[in-house]
Amino acid sequence: MIAEIALAILWLAAALAVLQLGLGSYALTARGAEFLRAVRPIAVVQGLLVAVAFALLIVLFLRTDLSVKLVAANSHSLKPLIYKIAGAWGNHEGSMLLWVTVMGLAGGFVALLERRLNERTMVATLAGQAFVSLGFYAFMLFSSNPFERLNPAPVEGNGLNPLLQDPGLAFHPPTLYIGYVGLSIAFSFAVGALITRDVGPAFARAMRPWVMGAWIFLTLGITAGSWWAYYELGWGGWWFWDPVENASLMPWLAATALLHSVSVLATRNALKAWTVMLAVVAFSMSMVGTFLVRSGILTSVHAFAVDPERGSFILTLLAIYIGGALALFGLRASTVTEGAKFHLFSREGSLVMNNVLLVGILGIVLMGTLYPLVTEAFGTKVSVGPPYFNPVSAIFVFPMLVIMAAGPLMRWRQDNGRKLANLLAVPALVAAGTLALVVVFGGDIGVLPLLGLVFAAGLAVASVLPLWKRNLRRTPAHIWGMVIAHLGIAVALAGMASESAFNTEKLVASEIGQSHTVGPWTIELQGVRPIAGANWTALEARLVARYGDSNVQTVLNPQARMFASPPTATSEAALLTRWNGQLYAVLGEEGDDGRWQLRLWWKPFVPLIWYGGLLVGLGGVLSLVGRTARDLRRKGEPELEPASEPAAPKPAAGGQEALA
Amino acid sequence: MKHWAIWLPLALFGLLFAVFASGLIAPGDRTIASQMIGKPLPDFDLPQAVPDRPALAKADFTGGKPKLLNVFASWCVPCIAEAPVLAELAKAGVEIDGVAIRDRTADVQQFLARNGNPYTRIGRDDVSKIQFDLGSSGVPETFVINGKGIITYQHIGEIRADQVPMILQKLKEAQ
């Protein structure tokens, strides 16, 4: 019964979405104004209903109801509880339901909580959200019904792909997904504001927390995904420029740009058209990512749920929503009034440059990802990898780091160079010192890693400078958020640069009792024994590691796991984390001669990559909490004043650089 | 903002849409063609796979007559389907040499006893070394080698019965 009830609820939610779109559109006409008040409650109920449908799907998975096709195909009665839950979204149909759930909930929360926006723009936003949701409701109800029954029911289910049976991965997809789909609300805000010609600071302030929330989830999701790939796949790498990884990075880049431009719009009433544009682009990148992952048009290590038919469905939705929004943008952008002017050498100026560079990186990644597709149309097969992405994106990344260091120290409207130069002298000195140290002691590590270390050191210092001479206790939370997020970027960059500069790797065929050295470590293979886990068996090696001349011994147990259903082998790397890096060991196959393949890596400072990612996310959380609390305190007051230092009182002369 | 620039995003999106649509309509060829076509065989000297057939080395391909080099394995299901077609080719006078990938002598013997033995020589490639050197990404694959030891054609997957004339034609071209 549960599946049938859930399906009925899903249809009801879809019907409410139709109502939300229809009534919302009618309410915006001259005659329909009396219906304006009806749209918010509809959005809330729609969000609730779809959330109930999703909760019921989880119940079906928890009970391992094998008469439901999706459960039978993706679950197994012997699976640990957490993976039974994760099984609900670890497949195409379930993830589509999660998609509409996130969209419905986002719309519901906006309808419930957001009171600052002009009511007409709010209704247009909610109608837009319903319009986008409807495409996915239709996709699900007409071609990928998650509640389809299977008759007769099988005795046992197929199980969940064991690579996905990992705590990191149980929560990586939904986290990323909330971020991806959360950007839909930014898209709907942009469309709503274009329809009612209401692009201004109030719109930006209403949109900002939602963009920030989605961005936090994206940041944490990407960090978790990179960590999962690093230790679960056993390849010893943390980023491969794989199409699917790029698909998650592109919305993040667009959302990061949007986050900064929306602040300019909220504070200074500038960058109007640009912000609307970015909101559309950010969600487009989410949809492009979904399309790339599910259509299978690119070769990827992640290709799952690949089906050309799904591909054409998503491509159609992409054409309707993104094409439609961009056409609306073309029609309405000229009516968006020009924003406040400012000098290029100012806080706004630096944010504009940051935006341009972020969009530049986005373009680089997009081109690299799609290039194989374009050449294939002309009959040539190529694959694009790190030799393209690393140096080409570096052209944009390093200038952006300089702006990241300088921007937060600048005043709004206009600043003068001398004061800034004085402030930046400290980070510049630290960067120069790092350069000297690495060149003297680091050996030949390559240009990019060297620059990475130098810029990371400079940025780390520069990012805390906005706190200089401030009363730390009275510093607003969003300033702390910015400082911590920027510091997180510096920390992650240091980890990335150090990983590629100082990484040492060893692949050996080892006899039992043999010792090997990698970096400062001596590692002895003491034995390999079989062990059994909840739903797997494994061969587990016992490695004893010693650091340098120390006598302290640490045991590492890398495993080669075999799962019974579906029959799959995975590798569980063993990691030993020290303050100065990570030892990474993978157990391979046994050779004919009784020797075992071992892959050993010493990766100095590599955990900084994920600590940095977490810091960036934490910065976002602080900023979101701080701003929301602040907005609640002074409801309705305009915020047209600089967030940090008092600005130069005189308006900028000759500020032609303003973007509309 | 310049008036035309407003429409630039839509134009770029149109381009993106065209790329995606073309990728969906004409899905790319996912087979991995060898980079070794037109080049001499890599050096190899493989051990004997079964007692009743001689071992296989690069030198066996420089006799002046085009031959087929068939990459197979006893554990490979399409290879069973391919066996009668190879037998037909062998009957037509084509010399076929085999490389057994990651296999054991007993298993290869059993495979040949069950499915027939079209091979003149069979080498054993225990770690897929020669397979990688040839640029072969799976089993079965068949290479046409001309009389000077140069790879002239790669056939990916099993040879079907209706492809026999095509393979014979490729052998003729290699002369």
pLDDT in tens, B11-67: 999 999 998 888 888 766 666 777 888 899 999 999 999 999 999 999 999 888 999
* pLDDT band for position A101 (cuts 50, 70, 90): very high
Number of A–B residue contacts, CB under 8 Å: 73
Q: Which of A433, A273, A413 is nearest to A347 (CA)?
A: A413
CB nearest to A322's CB, from B13, B33, B126: B13
Q: For residue B14, list chain A residues with Cβ-Cβ distance below 8 A.
A: 323
- Per the CB < 8 A criterion, the answer to whether A357 and A364 are in contact is no
- What are A628's two structure tokens? 């929301």
CB nearest to A330's CB, from B6, B16, B23: B6
- Cross-chain residue pair A370–B16, CB shorter than 8 Å: yes
Instruction: Report the first-to-last Cα separation within chain A, whole angstroms.
Output: 56
Q: For residue B20, list chain A residues with Cβ-Cβ distance below 8 A.
A: 291, 295, 297, 315, 318, 373
Q: For residue B27, list chain A residues with Cβ-Cβ distance below 8 A.
A: 296-297, 308
- Cross-chain residue pair B13–A288, CB shorter than 8 Å: no
Average pLDDT of every residue of chain B:
88
pLDDT in tens, A455-507: 999 999 999 999 988 888 888 899 999 999 999 999 999 999 998 888 888 88
Q: Which of A636, A638, A640, A621 is nearest to A209 (CA)?
A: A621
Torsional sign, CA A74, A75, A76, A78: positive
Instruction: Report the first-to-last Cα separation within chain B, whole angstroms.
Output: 67
Residue in chain B nearest A299 by alpha carbon: B30
Query: In Å, how far is A160's CA from the nearest CA of chain B?
Result: 26
Residue in chain B nearest A297 by alpha carbon: B23
- What are A530's two structure tokens? 């079989």
- What are A519's two structure tokens? 């970096």
In degrees, rounded to 5, the angle at the alpha carbon of residue A216 between the alpha carbons of residues A215 and A221 is: 95
Q: For residue A280, list chain B residues with Cβ-Cβ distance below 8 A.
A: 9
Q: Taking 90 as the threshold, does the pLDDT of residue A615 lie above it? A: yes
Scan for tokens 């079989």, then name that residue: A530
Residues 6+ apart with CB under 8 A from A469: none
- Cross-chain residue pair A370–B7, CB shorter than 8 Å: no
CB nearest to B17's CB, from A296, A299, A319: A319
In angstroms, rounded to a whole number, what is the distance separating the alpha carbons of residues B121 and A25? 77
pLDDT in tens, A267-285: 888 888 899 999 999 999 9
pLDDT attached to residue A655: 36
What is the SS3 assignment for A522? strand
- Cross-chain residue pair A319–B3, CB shorter than 8 Å: no
* pLDDT band for position A39 (cuts 50, 70, 90): very high
CB nearest to A323's CB, from B1, B13, B28: B13
Q: Taking 70 as the threshold, does the pLDDT of residue A305 lie above it? A: no
Query: In Å, how far is B86's CA from the nearest CA of chain A?
Result: 31
Query: In Å, how far is A270's CA from the nearest CA of chain B?
Result: 13
Which one is predicted more confidently, A108 or A171?
Answer: A108
- What are A578's two structure tokens? 């020290």
- Cross-chain residue pair A322–B3, CB shorter than 8 Å: no
Residues 6+ apart with CB under 8 A from A287: A314, A317, A318, A321, A322
Task: Give the HSE-up count for residue A500: Cα atoms under 13 Å, Cβ half-sphere.
Answer: 18
Which one is predicted more confidently, B138 or B97?
Answer: B97
- Per the CB < 8 A criterion, the answer to whether B100 and B74 are in contact is yes
- Cross-chain residue pair B17–A374, CB shorter than 8 Å: no
Q: For residue A318, list chain B residues with Cβ-Cβ distance below 8 A.
A: 17, 20
Which one is predicted more confidently, A655 or A626?
Answer: A626
In angstroms, rounded to a whole number, what is the distance separating the alpha carbons of residues B6 and A552? 66
Average pLDDT of every residue of chain A:
86
Q: Taking 50 as the threshold, does the pLDDT of residue A652 lie above it? A: no
Q: Taking 60 as the threshold, does the pLDDT of residue A301 lie above it? A: no
Q: For residue A374, list chain B residues with Cβ-Cβ distance below 8 A.
A: 19
Measured between alpha carbons, how far is residue A349 from residues A253, A333, A363, A483, A642 in Å?
19, 21, 21, 19, 14
- The pTM is what? 0.83
* Number of Cβ within a 10 Å radius of residue A375: 15
In angstroms, rounded to a whole number, what is the distance separating the alpha carbons of residues A338 and A272? 7
pLDDT attached to residue A431: 94
- Cross-chain residue pair B19–A373, CB shorter than 8 Å: yes
Lowest mean pLDDT among A144-158, A203-217, A632-646, B78-92: A632-646
- Cross-chain residue pair A334–B30, CB shorter than 8 Å: no
Scan for tokens 């049976």, then name that residue: A165
Residues 6+ apart with CB under 8 A from A315: A291, A295, B17, B20, B21, B24
pLDDT attached to residue A657: 36
Scan for tokens 């003068």, then name that residue: A416
Query: In Å, how far is A381's CA from the nearest CA of chain B?
Result: 9
- ipTM (interface pTM): 0.80
pLDDT attached to residue A573: 86
Average pLDDT score over residue span A75-103: 87
Q: For residue A365, list chain B residues with Cβ-Cβ distance below 8 A.
A: none
Give the pairing of strands A504-510 and A596-604: antiparallel
- Cross-chain residue pair A281–B9, CB shorter than 8 Å: yes
CB nearest to A370's CB, from B3, B19, B21: B19
pLDDT attached to residue A179: 93
pLDDT attached to residue A436: 92
CB nearest to A323's CB, from B10, B19, B28: B10
DSSP state of B73: -
Average pLDDT score over residue span B77-102: 92
In degrees, rounded to 5, the angle at the alpha carbon of residue A280 between the alpha carbons of residues A200 and A124 is: 60
DSSP state of B175: -
In angstroms, rounded to a whole number, what is the distance separating the alpha carbons of residues B126 and B152? 25
Mutate to test the interface with B, among A326, A381, A659 (most CBs of B within 10 A): A326
Q: For residue A323, list chain B residues with Cβ-Cβ distance below 8 A.
A: 10, 13-14, 17
Q: Taking 70 as the threshold, does the pLDDT of residue B155 lie above it? A: yes
pLDDT attached to residue A653: 37
CB nearest to A326's CB, from B3, B9, B23: B9
Strand order across the B96-101 sheet:
B119-125, B96-101, B67-72, B141-145, B151-156
- Per the CB < 8 A criterion, the answer to whether A311 and A379 are in contact is no
What is the SS3 assignment for A65? coil
Q: For residue A281, list chain B residues with Cβ-Cβ distance below 8 A.
A: 9
- Per the CB < 8 A criterion, the answer to whether A412 and A649 are in contact is no
Average pLDDT score over residue span B133-138: 86
Share of chain A above pLDDT 90, in %: 47
Q: Taking 90 as the threshold, does the pLDDT of residue A550 lie above it? A: no
Q: For residue A330, list chain B residues with Cβ-Cβ distance below 8 A.
A: 6-7, 9-10
- Cross-chain residue pair B27–A373, CB shorter than 8 Å: no
Q: Taking 80 as the threshold, does the pLDDT of residue A534 lie above it? A: no
Torsional sign, CA A313, A315, A317, A320: negative
Domain B45-173 belongs to what architecture?
3-Layer(aba) Sandwich (3.40)
- Cross-chain residue pair A295–B20, CB shorter than 8 Å: yes
Largest CA distance in chain B: 81
Q: Is A657 exposed, middle or buried (0-12, 13-18, 19+ CB in 10 A)?
A: middle
pLDDT attached to residue A169: 67
Q: For residue A329, list chain B residues with Cβ-Cβ distance below 8 A.
A: 6, 9-10
Q: Three-class SS string for A539-555? A: EEEEEEEEECCCCCEEE
Give the pairing of strands B96-101 and B67-72: parallel
Scan for tokens 């381009």, then name that residue: B15
Q: For residue A315, list chain B residues with Cβ-Cβ distance below 8 A.
A: 17, 20-21, 24
CB nearest to B27's CB, from A297, A333, A381: A297
- Cross-chain residue pair A659–B1, CB shorter than 8 Å: yes
DSSP state of A534: S
Residue in chain B nearest A324 by alpha carbon: B10
pLDDT attached to residue B99: 94
pLDDT attached to residue A645: 41
Average pLDDT score over residue span A351-380: 89
Q: Taking 60 as the threshold, does the pLDDT of residue A207 lie above it? A: yes
Q: Taking 50 as the threshold, does the pLDDT of residue A264 lie above it? A: yes
Chain B residues near any Cβ of chain A (below 8 Å): 1, 3, 6-7, 9-10, 13-14, 16-17, 19-24, 26-30, 33, 126
* Number of Cβ within a 10 Å radius of residue B4: 9
pLDDT attached to residue B28: 61
CB nearest to B6's CB, from A297, A334, A370: A334
pLDDT attached to residue A244: 82
Scan for tokens 């879809």, then name that residue: A14
pLDDT in tens, A306-334: 566 788 888 999 999 999 999 999 888 87
pLDDT in tens, A54-76: 999 999 999 988 899 899 888 88
Q: For residue B126, list chain A residues with Cβ-Cβ distance below 8 A.
A: 592
- Per the CB < 8 A criterion, the answer to whether A467 and A644 are in contact is no
Q: Taking 90 as the threshold, does the pLDDT of residue A40 lie above it? A: yes
- What are B74's two structure tokens? 């006893």
- Cross-chain residue pair B6–A318, CB shorter than 8 Å: no
Give the pairing of strands A559-563 and A568-572: antiparallel
Instruction: Give strand pairing partners of A521.
Output: A518, A547
Q: Taking 70 as the threshold, does the pLDDT of residue A286 lie above it? A: yes
Q: For residue A284, list chain B residues with Cβ-Cβ distance below 8 A.
A: 13
List for chain A the helix, strand, coil content (%; round to 5): 60, 10, 25
The separation between CA B169 and the C-alpha centre of its own chain, rounded to angstroms, equals 16
In degrees, rounded to 5, the angle at the alpha carbon of residue A380 between the alpha carbons of residues B134 and A316 is: 125
Q: Is the peptide bond before B140 cis (omega within 30 degrees of 0)?
A: yes
pLDDT attached to residue B153: 92
In angstroms, rounded to a whole number, what is the distance separating the alpha carbons of residues A366 and A346? 30
Q: For residue B28, list chain A residues with Cβ-Cβ distance below 8 A.
A: 297, 299, 373, 376, 381
- Cross-chain residue pair A299–B30, CB shorter than 8 Å: yes
- Listed by start position, the domains of chain B span 45-173
